[in-house]
Chains A and B, each alone.
Chain A
């Protein structure tokens, strides 16, 4: 294998570590590996110097505490004002909170209308006027046309179960 190629691969790996080490962001194990490579690689040694220099530049422009603490006046008054404004619009929030429920209700209503209206007898007597109640006419989902009377559902509650339980 070409030793130069091995070195290039090593250099490539070393570049990132060199950049990290410029800001002391490497651990002891990484330092050992770096030093081993730097001992045999003049290119990486040169890069190390350049990275150290640019890191110094970068850190030199860093003003101690960028914008000094005293430069700031608290934002709390502005924040609290906005919070109050936010809390003064409960109606819009309530309205938005109810939207899914209202949408569902509207959809159910539309479905019912869609289901009931086509079954309206042409003779004019309204299902609604039928003494048997709204659900007493034949349902469109009832293919045999027997009509589905509202059947008394057997209560399934625990109390019913307990009251009818054969002890």
Chain B
């Protein structure tokens, strides 16, 4: 891959907080009943986890609740974790699945929060000429993303907004890397198509209509081509 993703700096295998102990070592200690080891894992991953989950839910408190619930589940299932695998993807898988389940249950139409409440609260960024413009762009993008089917949108968010590598996403979503690449390409094409339509119609046509067009044009094709799993 040409792209040197930021995942190098924001890797799943985050090192401290929690000292220099490896994830595997900490997991081992947690299994022996060491709560401090679990605290180290929580502190090591919580920022990254909440950053990822905040892409999926708009509400900051909800993000925290989901992160908390994720860690609790991890604690409950720590015995089920395969120590020969990496801890990070396992944790993110639980978190992303929990969040997607939550969204499905609530059937909220407030899809991915590309901007957090906190950022809005912070007020205008002096580096942005017109903050309202930037906000509008974010809202526009969010609306387009909302109309992309979940399985593509999830990959798009993890790759293009959270900078996970394809192999990391494959580990998180428990899919083959080829499937992830397929979904990523599909997601980008759908985004491009919807964005183009939206710009062309200057918001005169309802987006849902666009989405339907985009979906009907390639859904059948994807499903057959995506049998890579």
Chain A residues packing against B (C-beta within 8 Å): 15-17, 19-20, 22-28, 31, 50-51, 53-55, 57-63, 65-69, 71-72, 74-76, 78-80, 82-83, 86
Contact = CB atoms under 8 A, between A and B. Distances in A.
Interface string B51-67: 10011000010011001
B189 A19 contact: yes
B191 interface: yes
B188 A76 contact: no
Given A27-B1, A51-B192, A69 B47 contact: yes
Given A16-B186, A19-B189, A25-B181, A57 B39 contact: no
A49 to B, nearest CB: 10
B196 interface: yes
Contacts of B3: 23-25
Interface of B: 1-3, 35, 38-39, 42-43, 46-47, 50-51, 54-55, 60, 63-64, 67-68, 71-72, 75-76, 114-116, 118-119, 134, 137-138, 141, 156, 159-162, 166, 181-182, 184-186, 188-189, 191-192, 195-196
A62 B188 contact: no
B141 A57 contact: yes
Contacts, number: 135
Nearest to A26: B2
A53 B55 CA distance: 22
A62 B68 CA distance: 25
A72 B141 CA distance: 25
Contacts of A69: 47
A31 B1 CA distance: 10
Contact of B39 (A59, A65, A76, A82): A76
23 contacts: A19-B189, A25-B1, A25-B184, A26-B1, A50-B192, A53-B192, A54-B196, A55-B160, A55-B188, A57-B195, A58-B191, A61-B134, A62-B114, A63-B119, A66-B116, A67-B50, A67-B63, A71-B60, A72-B47, A72-B64, A75-B46, A76-B42, A79-B68
A59 B160 contact: yes
Residue from A16, A65, A69 whose CB has the most chain B CB atoms within 10 Å: A16
Contacts of B42: 74-76, 79
Nearest to B181: A20
Interface secondary structure of A, over-half rule: helix
B25 to A, nearest CB: 19
A145 B161 CA distance: 79
Contact of B185 (A16, A57, A59, A74): A16
Given A15-B189, A58-B191, A66-B54, 8 more contacts: A19-B184, A19-B185, A25-B1, A50-B192, A62-B160, A74-B42, A75-B64, A83-B35
Given A16-B182, A16-B185, A61-B137, A66 B162 contact: yes
Contacts of B64: 72, 75, 78
A31 B43 CA distance: 41
B2 A24 contact: yes
B161 A62 contact: yes
